[in-house]
Amino acid sequence: MASVTLSGINKWYGGAVHAVRDISFKIEDGEFFGLLGPSGSGKTSVLRMLAGLERPTSGTISFDGTSVEAKTPQERNVAMVFEQNALYPHMSARQNISYPLKIRGLTKAEIETKVAEVASLLNIGHLIDRRASQMSGGQQQRVAIARALVRRPNLLCLDEPIAHLDTLLRARLRGELKRLQRALGTTSVIVTHDPIEAMTMTDRIAVMRDGLMQQIGTADEIYMRPVNAFVAQFFGLHSMNVFTVGNVRDAPELSGQCGAQPVMLPDCVKPHVGAQSRSVLVGSRPGGVSVYKAGEAPRRGAALSLSGRVYVAEQLGDAILVTVQAGDATIQAMTSPDYRFAIDEPVDVVIREDALYVFDDENQRTLRFASGASVSQTDRLATYA
Amino acid sequence: MNTIAVQGAALPPATRNRDTAAERRATLFLLGPAMTFLALLSIWPFAYLIYASFTSYQLAIPIPIEWVGIDNFTRMMSNPRFWRSLGITVIFALVAVPLQIVAGLGMALLLNGVTRGREVYASLFLIPMMVAPIVVGFSWNLFLNPIYGPLNSFLKAIGLNPPAWAQSPEWALPTLVVVDTWQWTPFVMIVLLAGLNSIPQRVYEAARVDGSTRWQTFVNIVLPMLFPYMMVAFVLRFIDSFRVFDIIYILTRGGPGTATQNLAYYTYDMGFGRFEFSIAGALSIIQLVLLTVGTMAILGFAKRRDKGPISDAPLPPTVFNAAAQSAMGAKP
Amino acid sequence: MTTTVSPPVADSSLPETETLAARLSVIVKHVVLVVVLALFLLPLAWLLLTAFKPYAELFTSPPSILPVNGTLVNFSDGWAIGGGKGIGDSLIVASISTVLCLVLGYPAAYALARRFPPHGQLSFTILSLRMMPPIVPVIGFYLLFQELSLFDTYTGLVIVYTFMNLPLVIWLLAEFIRQIPKTYEEAARIDGAPWYRLFWDVLFPLSAPGILTAGILAMIFAWNEFLFALVLTGEKVITLPKALASFFLFQQPNWGQLGAIGIVAIAPLLVLSYYMQRFLIRSFSVGSGGR
C-alpha cells in the first residue's frame, strides 16, 4: 500500500491530442480515490499512467515518494480491473486469479492458500473452476477483482469496473467494493463517468473535463460547493439547473429576462451582474426549486421567480421531477408527489435565495454558493496542493 | 478544499512520447524477419526477370547476352501468338468469371432456401475448389475421355454424336472454361451465401409488410445488397483467371495447336519449352501490368458504382475486400 | 424424425394448408439440391470409381459404371510407382513451409495488428504479393535457383512456398489478432508477465483458432501447388501434383493407379471441407465479431 503523488502530468497522443493537461494531485495511503468525468476527459489516461500501461509525456508520478514513471506495472505492484474482457477467456477463474502469483514464482501451495482466501473474501468459491464464458458479467467482474486483490497491490486501479452491469447489480457491487476497500485498506483509484458511483464509493473525488482538473474534494464538498457551472451540472444525481438571466435592471425592482420571460431576482445577485453584459448566470439544484400553479406563488422576498409552462413531469415514486420551460431556460424541480402537473400547464417557478448559485458570466466560475455566503477571494483561489 | 482549473500547457511537447522509441524497436524486431524474407524474395528474382527481359537471354543457345532494351517487348507485340494468347486470357476473364458469378448466385440462393443441412451441402459443394487443379484436370480428363469416359458413352447412348472435348479444336477452350467454372463456382457461392446471411431477416419482413412481391424483393433489395459481395467475388476471380495454368497443362497442353494457350501457358512454353527466357520474362512483366491495370479499372468502377443507392450496403470485411478498399484508396 | 425443432413463431399462426405448402417447398428444394450436388460431383465420383477398377475394366467402351471386380491394388501400385514419394515430398515441403510461414508470420501479424491501421498501405503491399500470378515470378525464381544451386531441392521449394503463403498468413493472423481485445494483453502486463509469457500464456492460446486456420490454408495451398513444382524441381523432388501430371502425360498411364494417387491427394481436403466452408462464410460475413 502506498500514497501516490502526481505532479505536472501531461499526456499527448501523437502531438495533436492533449489528453491530460498539467494534472497534479495526491492520493493518500489507504484512500479510495475517484476519477470522475465525461468521456474524453482524460480520466482513463490518468489511470493508465498510474498503472504503468502508459507513460506521461511530462510530469512525475511517485509511490511513497519514489518516482515510478520508468517502472513497469509489475515493479509498481499495481493491480487493475478492466471495464470488460477483464478475464483471460481461456483460463478458469482459479487460473485467472493465480496467474499473477504464478508469474511471481510462488509455490503451488502458497498460490492455493491465497486463492482460497481471496475467493472466500469475494464469495466466488462456487465459480472457481468456471471459465469467463460460463459466468455472468457480475461474476466475471468479481473474479477480476479477486485477481487484482490476490497479490495485495500497492495500488488498485479500477477502470469503470461495474459500468457494464445492470442497475441492481451495480448498486450491490458499489456497496461491496466500498466495504472491501475499507476492510483491506488498499489504496484504490476508480475511474467512472457516473457521479453516483464516485459519490457512493470513494473518499475523495477528482472531477476532470477535457484533460483539465476541475475540482478535487469529498463528495459533499463538490456537491455543495462546485467550483464552476460544469461541475455543478455534471455532479449529482440530477443536473443542476443553470441558466442566464439577461437584460438585468435595477428599477423598480431587481429584475431581468430569460428570453422574453421576465424574471424577478433577489438582491444577492446584484453584485454579480456583469457590468457590460447586464446579465448573470444563475443555478439551482432541482431540490431547491419550487413550482406553483400560475399565480399561486407566495409573495416572499429574496427569491428568484419566473413563469413558464410544464414541459414534462416524471413520476419518480417518492417525488415528481417537473421540467419547466420558462423563456430560454429549462428548469427542473423536485416536487412532492401530491400534485400532478399536466403537460403545458402554466406554472410559476421560485428559487429561494439560499438555494441559489451564481456563476461568473464569462469563465463560469462559481461566485456564490447556495449555502448563502458569497465566495470570498481566498476561497476562490484555494488550491489543492 | 476547492480547486480552480489550471490551464494546462497548450503547446505540444518538443520531444515525442518517451515510449515510442522502444515501441518502434519492438515493431522492427517483430516485422523484420518476415519483411526481409518477403522483400528479398520479391526483389531478387524480379531483378533476374528484368535482366532477362531486357537482354537476349536464351538458355539453349550460348550466344553472348546483350542489352536489347525493349526489343523483346516490341517483338512480342508484333507476334500474333501473343495476341491470341491474350485473347484467350481475356475470354477466361470475361466469360468464365461472369458464368461463375451467375452459377454461384443460383447455388447460393438454392442453399439459402434450406436451413437444415445447409452446412453439409455447402461443404460438399466446396470440394472442387479445395482439390488440387491438377487432380481436377485429371478427373475431367477421365470423365471427358472420348472413348472410355462416361459422358460421351452416355451421349452416344442417347443418340448424340459428341465431340472429343479437350482434344477438339472448337471445344477445347469451352471445355476449359467449363472446368474452371466447375472448380470455382463454389467459391463464388460461398461468398454470396455470406452476403445473403448478412441481410437481416427484418429487411425481408419490412419488404413483405410493404407489400413487395418475392421477385420485387429479390430485384430491389437482395440483388443490390449482394452487389458488393459480387464485386468482391468478381475481383478475386478476375485476378485468379490470370493464374489458370494447371488445368490447361493437364487437359490440353495448350492445344490442339495453340487453341488453348493463355498468357500463362504461353509464357511457360516460351520459358521452359523453348528456353527463350527473354521473351518469357517480357511476357511475365506484361501480365503483371495488365493484371494491375485491369484490377484497378474494376475497382474504380466498383467505387463509382458504390456511390449509388447501395452505398449503405456493408462491404464484407475480408482479407480481400480490405485489399480492394485500400487499392481504391490508393488511387489518386 | 426424432429431433424436435421448435417452429418459428410466425408459422404457428399460419393455416394448416400453408404450413403444408411450405413443407412441400422445402422438400422440393432438398430434392433439387441433392440432384444438383450429385451431378456436380460426378467427375470426382468417376475418379473415385476409377481408383477401384482393375486394369482390364479401365479400357472398355462403354465403360462399366461401378467397378465389377473392385480392387485396392491400384492404391498399393500407385504408392509403389511414385505416389508414395509424392506424398512424402508434398508432406515435407508443405509442412515445413507452413511452419515457417507461421513462425515468420505471427510476429509480423502481431506488429501489423497492433501498430498499423487495418487497411493501411503496408498491409496492402504485403497482400498484393499474394495476388500476383505465379507465372510472373517463376522465371526469376528459376534463374535465381540455377545460380544458387537451389534447383530441384527441398529447400528451394520450401522457400518458394513460404514466399507464396506468407503474405496471406500474415494477413489472416493480423485480422484475427485485431479481434482480440487489447485488455487481455494489458491485464497480462499488469499481472507482470514478461513479453514471452504474454505471447505464450495469453496471445497464442487466444489466437489458436486463427493459427490453425492460417496453417491449414498454407498447407492446402502448398499441397495443391503445381507450377512452381513443375518448373523449379526435376528428378529429386517430386510432389504429388507433379507426380500425377508427369505420370499421366509422359508414361504409359494406368488410370486406376493415377486415380488412386489422385484420391489420396484430395482425401485430406475432404476432411477439411466442412471446416473451410465455415471459415469462408465467416470471413466474408459482415459484423461477425465473435469468435
Nearest-CA residue of chain B relative to C282? B194
Over residues B143-155, the mean pLDDT reads: 86
Tell me how close the Cα of B158 comes to any Cα of chain C, in angstroms.
13
A139-187 pLDDT, tens digit per residue, is 999 999 999 999 889 999 999 998 888 888 888 889 889 999 998 899 9
C186, C192, C201: residue with CB nearest A53: C186
pLDDT at residue B84 is higher than 50: yes
C-alpha cell recorded at residue A276: 457590460
- Residue B209, Cβ density class (10 Å: 0-12 exposed, 13-18 middle, ≥19 buried): exposed
A52, A88, A147: residue with CB nearest C184: A88
Position B318 scores a pLDDT of: 43
**What phi and psi, each to the nearest 5 degrees, are found at residue A88?**
-65, 120
Position B62 scores a pLDDT of: 62
* In chain B, domain spans: 45-330
Determine which of A200-204, A341-345, A361-365, B325-329 has the lowest per-residue pLDDT on average. Answer: B325-329
What residues of chain B lie within 8 A of the CB of C279, using their CB? none
What residues of chain C lie within 8 A of the CB of A52, using their CB? 189-190
Nearest-CA residue of chain C relative to A75? C192
- Return the closest-CA partner of residue A357 out of A207, A216, A229: A229
What are the distances in angstroms from CA C137 to CA A159, B46, B89, B239?
Answer: 52, 7, 18, 15
Distance CA C21, CA C86 (A): 54
Per CATH, domain B45-330 is 3.30.1330.60: no
Tell me how close the Cα of B55 comes to any Cα of chain C, in angstroms.
14
Binning pLDDT at 50, 70 and 90, where does residue A112 land?
A: very high
pLDDT at residue C81 is higher than 80: yes
Per cent of chain B over pLDDT 90 is 20
Q: Under an 8 A CB cutoff, do C281 and B190 touch?
A: yes
pLDDT at residue B273 is higher than 80: yes
Q: Residues of A numbered 22-51 whose beta carbons fall under 8 angstroms of chain C's beta carbons: which are they?
A: 51
Return the residue in B139, B183, B275, B277 with the most chain C beta carbons within 10 A, the one to mutate for interface testing: B139
Whether the Cβ atoms of residue C251 and residue C71 lie closer than 8 Å to each other: no
Position C154 scores a pLDDT of: 94
Over residues B13-26, the mean pLDDT reads: 63
Over residues B302-326, the mean pLDDT reads: 45
Position C9 scores a pLDDT of: 43
What residues of chain B lie within 8 A of the CB of A46, using their CB? none
Distance CA B37, CA A351 (A): 75
Distance CA A113, CA A117 (A): 6
Position B61 scores a pLDDT of: 62
Binning pLDDT at 50, 70 and 90, where does residue C8 land?
A: very low
B27, B288, B329: residue with CB nearest C115: B27
pLDDT at residue B328 is higher than 80: no
Higher pLDDT, A289 or C61: A289
**What phi and psi, each to the nearest 5 degrees, are found at residue A17?**
-105, 115
Nearest-CA residue of chain C relative to B327? C124
What are the distances in angstroms from CA B228 to CA A21, A170, B225, B246, C175?
Answer: 45, 43, 7, 30, 20
Over residues A5-31, the mean pLDDT reads: 90
B110-132 pLDDT, tens digit per residue, is 888 888 888 888 888 988 988 99
Position B8 scores a pLDDT of: 41
Determine which of A41-55, B251-265, B286-300, C201-215 has the lowest per-residue pLDDT on average. Answer: B286-300
Q: Under an 8 A CB cutoff, do B8 and A214 touch?
A: no
Q: Under an 8 A CB cutoff, do A22 and B9 touch?
A: yes
Secondary-structure class of domain A234-381 per CATH = mainly beta
Binning pLDDT at 50, 70 and 90, where does residue B64 land?
A: low
- For β-strands A78-81 and A58-63, DSSP reports them as unpaired
Return the residue in C232, C277, C278, C283 with the most chain B beta carbons within 10 A, the one to mutate for interface testing: C277
Q: Is C180 in the A-facing interface, judged by CB distances under 8 Å? A: no
B135, B195, B318: residue with CB nearest C244: B135
Higher pLDDT, C274 or C198: C198
**What phi and psi, each to the nearest 5 degrees, are found at residue C65?**
-80, -60
Q: Under an 8 A CB cutoff, do B30 and C124 touch?
A: no
C-alpha cell recorded at residue C133: 500470378
Q: How far apart are the first and last CA of chain B?
A: 58
Which chains share 3+ C-beta pairs under 8 angstroms with A? B, C
Question: If DSSP codes are grouped into helix, strand and coil, which group holds residue A308?
Answer: strand
Q: Under an 8 A CB cutoff, do B1 and A381 touch?
A: no
Q: Residues of A numbered 72-101 whose beta carbons fall under 8 angstroms of chain C's beta carbons: which are they?
A: 72-74, 78-80, 82-86, 88-90, 99-100
C-alpha cell recorded at residue B234: 468478381
What residues of chain B lie within 8 A of the CB of C97, using their CB? none
Position B60 scores a pLDDT of: 57
Whether the Cβ atoms of residue A205 and residue A222 lie closer than 8 Å to each other: yes
Binning pLDDT at 50, 70 and 90, where does residue B59 land?
A: low
Over residues B298-310, the mean pLDDT reads: 58
A294-303 pLDDT, tens digit per residue, is 888 777 667 8
Position C50 scores a pLDDT of: 87
What are the distances in angstroms from CA A63 to CA A59, A75, A314, C102?
Answer: 14, 11, 48, 42
Position C18 scores a pLDDT of: 66
What residues of chain B lie within 8 A of the CB of C143, using their CB? 45, 48-49, 51-52, 277
Q: CB pairs below 8 Å between B and C: how many?
A: 301
B3, B10, B13: residue with CB nearest A58: B13
What residues of chain A lie within 8 A of the CB of C188, using their CB? 88, 99
**What phi and psi, each to the nearest 5 degrees, are found at residue C78?**
-60, -40
Q: Which DSSP letter does residue B66 get?
A: -
What residues of chain C lie within 8 A of the CB of A89, using their CB? 184, 206
Spacing of C-alpha A147 from chain mean position: 26
Position C115 scores a pLDDT of: 83
Return the residue in A25, A58, A209, A368 with the most chain B beta carbons within 10 A, the one to mutate for interface testing: A58
Position A144 scores a pLDDT of: 92
Over residues C20-33, the mean pLDDT reads: 87
Q: Is B259 in the C-facing interface, judged by CB distances under 8 Å? A: no
B138, B148, B281: residue with CB nearest C59: B148
A257-287 pLDDT, tens digit per residue, is 888 888 888 888 888 888 788 888 999 998 8
Position C3 scores a pLDDT of: 43
pLDDT at residue B99 is higher than 60: yes
Position B15 scores a pLDDT of: 47
C26, C166, C245: residue with CB nearest B38: C166
Tell me how close the Cα of A228 comes to any Cα of chain B, in angstroms.
8
Could you tell me the CATH superfamily of domain A4-227? P-loop containing nucleotide triphosphate hydrolases (3.40.50.300)
- Return the closest-CA partner of residue A174 out of A165, A182, A162: A162
Q: Is the pTM of this model over 0.95?
A: no
Position B229 scores a pLDDT of: 86
Binning pLDDT at 50, 70 and 90, where does residue B19 land?
A: low
Rounded to 10 degrees, the C-alpha dihedral A293/A298/A299/A301 comes to -120
Determine which of A13-17, A119-123, B276-280, C237-241 has the lowest per-residue pLDDT on average. Answer: A13-17
pLDDT at residue C4 is higher than 80: no
pLDDT at residue A378 is higher than 70: no
Q: Is B74 in the C-facing interface, judged by CB distances under 8 Å? A: no
A20-56 pLDDT, tens digit per residue, is 999 999 999 999 999 999 988 999 999 999 999 988 9
Tell me how close the Cα of C8 comes to any Cα of chain A, in angstroms.
27
Nearest-CA residue of chain A relative to C208? A90
Rg of the Cα trace of chain B? 26
pLDDT at residue A209 is higher than 70: yes
Determine which of A47-51, A306-310, B315-319, C51-55 has the lowest per-residue pLDDT on average. Answer: B315-319
Strand partners, A18: A12
- Return the closest-CA partner of residue A149 out of A161, A137, A166: A161
CATH architecture for the domain at C79-284: Orthogonal Bundle (1.10)
Position B54 scores a pLDDT of: 86
Per cent of chain C over pLDDT 70 is 89
Strand partners, A26: A5
Q: Under an 8 A CB cutoff, do B2 and A225 touch?
A: yes
Binning pLDDT at 50, 70 and 90, where does residue B306 land?
A: low
What residues of chain A lie within 8 A of the CB of B3, using their CB? 213-217, 227, 382-384
Position C132 scores a pLDDT of: 83
Nearest-CA residue of chain B relative to A13? B17
